[in-house]
Amino acid sequence: MNKKDLKILQALDADVRSSFSAIGRKTRLSKEVVQYRIKQLEKNNTITEYWAIPRIDSGSTVYKVLIKNKSLGLKKKEELVSFLTSQPSVAWMASVEGSWDFIITSVVNEDASFSKMMIELQNKFGTHFKDKQIMKTVSAVDINEKYLYDGQIDPITTELNFLDEEVEIDDTDKEIISVLLTNSRSSFAEIGKKVGLTAESISYRFKKIMKNKLISKLKVRINHDVLGLAYYHLFISLSDYGKKQAVSNYFTQLPSCVFIMNHIGVYDMHVELVMPIKDVHNILLQFAEMFGDSLSSYELLKIQEEHQIRVSID
């Protein structure tokens, strides 16, 4: 990748809401050049979207579902994807390569919503499944896109505790957050037009939203394929649960690790890795050497296609 474009991506990773002028100062490029290059990065699908992670607390429940295919053909797979991506409770879904074939992330305010979705899924497609696993997700760690940088850099982490006490959010703030979830670079003026407030009022409310952590993280989503990188989920089951934090700390420092989720279920956690395919073997060997005595099992899944990326706030 062009070094100038890489520096722009690094600047957006550090602060996705940085102005063109601010990015220009960091990258030693003019405002006009930054604006042009960002538009080109969007046009060629290097930057796929600007998004945000909302606060998820005990008012919601997060589930991770793994499905192993037995007899889904192409047509039935398309029907499955269409069904799941139409479900309000499905926040993320992907087809994967490995011991499992599909990963689903569900975020619901009521367990009944998830149960109804899973019952309908089973009724429609269950005969085609060889296996499935459901885990409850209790926390996560968001990590900056360290793979964009040469050499070792200190990780910038955001802790997400899904068991925190529920916080009430007023309707106007919900509207503002909803806009930022779909475009975290929206200007205050643009948000104001959508919610019927002045830019000044949006600025004031935005500062309070961030201070009160109603949005956990504002982010840029990068197309790893364009960079020649692959995206993996490594699911881990521990025989020594006391080593869980050590495993988390280990991966947090790796340049390839961008996200960690902690579960209750067949797997205790999973880590998300972005790296060249050639590095996979060594990463797994090093992990097994470091923690082999504390592991029950681990499964590496390569993300083949993301079908759904939809974070919402009720």
pLDDT surpasses 90 at 309: no
Indicate if the pLDDT at residue 251 is higher than 80: yes
Q: What is the 3-state secondary structure (H, E, C) of 122-160?
A: HHHHHHHEEEEEEEEEEEEEEECCHHHCCCCCCCCEEEE
Exposure string for 57-71, b = 16+ CB within 10 A, e = fewer: eebbbbbbbbbebee
Return the CATH architecture of domain 1-44.
Orthogonal Bundle (1.10)
Length of the chain as a residue count: 314
- State yes or no: pLDDT of 293 exceeds 70: yes
Report the pLDDT value the prediction gives residue 88, as an integer from 0 to 100: 93
Spans of all domains in the chain? 1-44, 61-145+223-309
Please give the average per-residue pLDDT across 230-237, as a whole number: 98
1-44 and 61-145+223-309: identical CATH topology: no
Higher pLDDT, 309 or 140: 140
Q: Is the pLDDT of residue 95 over 90?
A: yes
CATH architecture, domain 61-145+223-309? 2-Layer Sandwich (3.30)
Cβ neighbours of residue 75 closer than 8 Å, sequence gap 6 or more = none
Instruction: List 273's β-bridge partners, or say none.
Output: 232, 257
What per-residue confidence (pLDDT) applies to 152?
72
pLDDT tens, position by position, 259-270: 999 999 999 999
Q: What does the block give as tokens for 163?
A: 């068991």
pLDDT in tens, 141-178: 999 999 999 877 889 999 999 999 999 999 999 999 99
Q: What is the pLDDT of residue 258?
A: 97
This prediction's pTM: 0.95
Q: What is the pLDDT of residues 120-145, one digit of tens each?
A: 999 999 999 999 999 999 999 999 99
- Judge contact between 27 and 158, C-beta under 8 A: no
313 has a pLDDT exceeding 90: no
Q: Look at residue 69 and tell me whether its pLDDT is greater than 70.
A: yes
pLDDT at residue number 314 = 65
Mean pLDDT of 199-208: 98
